[in-house]
Each structure stands twice: as C-alpha cells, then as structure tokens.
Structure 1
Amino acid sequence: MPAGRSPVGRVTRGTTGANRLRRIDRWIARHPALRRAADPLVVDLGYGASGVTALELHARLARSRPDVEVLGLEIAPERVDRARAQLEDVRHGLTAFAPDARVSFARGGFEVPTPGGRHPAIVRAMNVLRQYDEHAVADAWREMSSRLAPGGLLVEGTCDELGRIATWAAVSCGGEPMTLTVSLRLAGLERPSIAAERLPKALIHRNVPGEPVHAFLTALDEEWLRAAAVSPFGPVHRWRTAMEALVAGGWPLRARSRWPLGEVTIGWESVAPLG
C-alpha cells in the first residue's frame, strides 16, 4: 500500500473460524476464473482475527491449481502481525499446512493493494459487508472488482459460524453481479430458507413478499417439503429431487453437478432486488 494511504473499509468483527469457509473455497477451486488464470493470485479480503482462512484457501485451491498464491488482506495492523506470526509457525513445520505454502499477509481493504500492482484472478470477501448499508454494496463491489484481472471474479457473501449455511454472489471484473449461490449442509436440514439470514448484504433486506429473492427461497422451501416423500433415500436424493422440480417450474438453475453438495446456483437476474 502506498505510504500514507489508509485502507478503504471498516474493521470487521473478526469472528474467524477454522474450516468455516470450506464451501466457498471448494466452489472457487472449480471455477474457470481460477483454473484458466494467467496469474493465479487469489486475495482473501478481510480474513479476520486469524490467518487460518487464507491458509485453508491456499490448501484447497492448490489441489486444482498448484501454482496458486493467496494474499490475505486486513485493515487492522494487529491482525496482519498476528497472521504473519502464524505464517512463521507454518514455515517452521509446526502446523498441518505446507511449510512452503505460497501465502502472504498485508494491510489493505477494498482498494485491494497487491505486490507490484498485480491483478488477482479471484477476490474472496466473505462476511465483510454485513455491517454496511445496502446502498453501499454496489460501490464496494465496483472498487474491489476494479482490481481484478480480465475474466476475474469477486466472490462476496456470508456464512454462519460453522460454515453449514453459506451464500455468495459472483461479481464480474466490471462490478456486475452474475449469480447467487446457496450452499447448505443437507443432513438435518428443515427448510432451505434458513439461508435467508445469511444472504449477501445486497439481498438480505429484500427477503420480503414481492421481491424475487423471497419468491426463490419460498420455492426452495416448497419443493424441499414436497420432496420429503423421497427422504428415505437420503438428503442428497431429496435435494436433487427438489432441484429438478424447481427447474421444471421454470427456475433457471445452474451448475447441476454441484447439487450433491447441497448447492444451488441461479442467475442474478432471477433474484435481483426490485427498484
């Protein structure tokens, strides 16, 4: 970051949890924006009180892209210091992470500073916009995505503390939202609409009658309940049955191959806020 320039954004609560972002990480690992990137730099923006999520991100992405690099960015200097101390333990073989993991930590916010002005293939910004007003989201998206490489991706969303409920928006390098993904732990799931409390900030206040995202979550619940008849075959079979019914009902779902993981992805135009 240039001397004298302050990071853009606010300090998050920092409620980092090991393995919390596994659903998002595995989705990113399969995405063409990473697999086809000329420079596989991935930014973990707002990683929180511990650098563990950046280390986990690298470990998961390296399975599909061995040359991936992960840069963790945080606004609070003490969090950067703490993460760098953790990284020293990694380098000395004192953790389960690879000592030579291509991970680094620096201070930064929505301006996404990178060494040498490199343009990331992916910026992952989970649980960083929850404290913002809805009207601030578009500007934050534009600022973060403006740093992306052509064809790059901003992944912005929210998850619960255990990572069993997660939603995220995929935003283009031009700052335009493209898809919404809902990812749930299917075992013991009562209603998919439990995801409503973890929607991205752009949608969380729009879960009211008359808004498209409310209609989508309502349809998810209805088909999940109807699919209860096949629940003896397991929750994955029940989820697939519900997703097939949604498609038959006209919902343009994407990424069918991800359904067994408890995921559903839909084009942003189907859930975008009205007005």
Structure 2
Amino acid sequence: MTSALSTSRRLVLALAASTALLAACGKTEAPATSQAAAPAAAALPAKIVIGLDDNFPPMGFRDDKNELVGFDVDLAREAAKRLGVQVEFKPIDWNAKEAELNGQRVDALWNGLTITEERKKNIAFTAPYMQNHQIVVVRADAAIKTKAELAGKTVGVQDGSSAVDAIAKDEATAKSFKELKKYGDNVTALMDLATGRLDAVVLDEVVGRYYAAKKPGEYVVLDDNFGTEDYGVGLRQGDTELHARLDQALAAMKQDGSGAQISDKWFGKNILK
C-alpha cells in the first residue's frame, strides 16, 4: 500500500510539472499568424481643387453670369459626386499648370489636358477619356486651304498648349511661318484672327469647332491638321489612391451612360473615348 501510494503521488507530481511547463511555453511564444493584415486604403481628401483655364470653351469657361461651366466641369462634378468628395474649381495660368499641381495649389488639372510623353515626366494621367485634334482655323474669306499655304503667314497659338508641341513636330511647316505668335488664351487669338492680325490659329478641335459653330460664316476649319491626341486628367505622381479611384469613376461613367449624357449636352453626340 505504501509503495503504491508513493508511486501514484510521483505520477501526479510529474503530470503537474508537465502541465506547468506547457503553460509557461504558451506564455512566451505568440501563435504565428498565417498572413499579415492588409494595409487600409488611403483616404481621399474631403475636397479636391481642380485647376483649369477659365477661357477654354466648351471644356471650361465662364458663362453670362460669370459662373464656371463646361464639359470638363460637368464631368469633374459627376466624378467628385461618385468619389464622395467636394470639388472646387480654381482658374490658373495654364502655362504654369505643372507648377500649380506639384506645388499643391491644385490637386488635379482637368481642362482639355493633352497626354504627352514630355508631360508624363511630371504628371500622372488617368486613362484617356476623349480624343482631340490640333486643327487650323482661318477666316472664311482667306485663300488658305492647306497647311502648306501657311508659308509666310502669321499663325497664332495658346502659350503652354499642346498646339505648340504639335506644330514643333511638323518642323518643315513650322519653319515656313512668318511668325508663330503666342497668346494667353485661344479666345484672344481668335479675336486677332477675326480682325486680320493673324492669318490662322492652331488650337484644340473642340474649341475651334465650338467657336466656328457660334459664328457661322466667319471661320473655316481646314481639312489638314497637326495630329491626333488624347485628353486625360492630370494628377500628382504620388496621389495613387486618387488616381485609382478617379479612373474607376470615369470608367463607370462611360459604362452607365452618364458620361454620354454630359457629352451630348455639350457636343450633340457622345465623344468619350
């Protein structure tokens, strides 16, 4: 009996020691996780400031009540609504647009901004949302019918616009000009064309055809142009969350027809790419 009790007591003590050892090990080693938690998506700002040229109809301009309106303005408002953010439109010097963006005075450039390889060095672009041409506009009574006939002529262009780059690519034609005169905006250039101070203006098709339609019999658009280009929204290269969300919103607007409705309002047809 005494021997059996001693043996039983030793077994109980051994079992207790093993349990204590296991408990101690459990306290010092945390259980391994099979997968790290995914990082939370970056939050968008409560308000996005959009830089634009407020004299660039029909993309962005001031109406008779001095309110900012236009195709790009309507697109931006619809996109902001889908992102759940407020939007503010800030007129800027378009020639200094990259400095305004990267200096964080605006959060986006949305006003007929052409996607170019040179601009991609400093700007992150959304997927293209429409296509454009750099067209040549002359007075209706002009004898100019082709680009070749711009030789010896004074041609106007908006400073800082993609029209400047488009003309430069056609080196032979550019060198044939008497003068390439740069303006702060296209509207002033077209006014100088109408008064005879210019022989032609090279500008975005959406703007040129808009003004030609408003003043029938005053302007003519040549069949020749200075090339095709895509429009996109310009963002800072580090704003990856805004970039991704804006791309999603624009794609959804194309798919559900809301973008087509805005396009039809300003152009009478769907011109979204």
Structure scoring higher RCO (CA < 8 A, sep ≥ 6) equals 2
Report the TM-score, using the length of structure 1 for normalisation: 0.28
* Higher share of residues assigned strand: 2
Larger Rg: 2
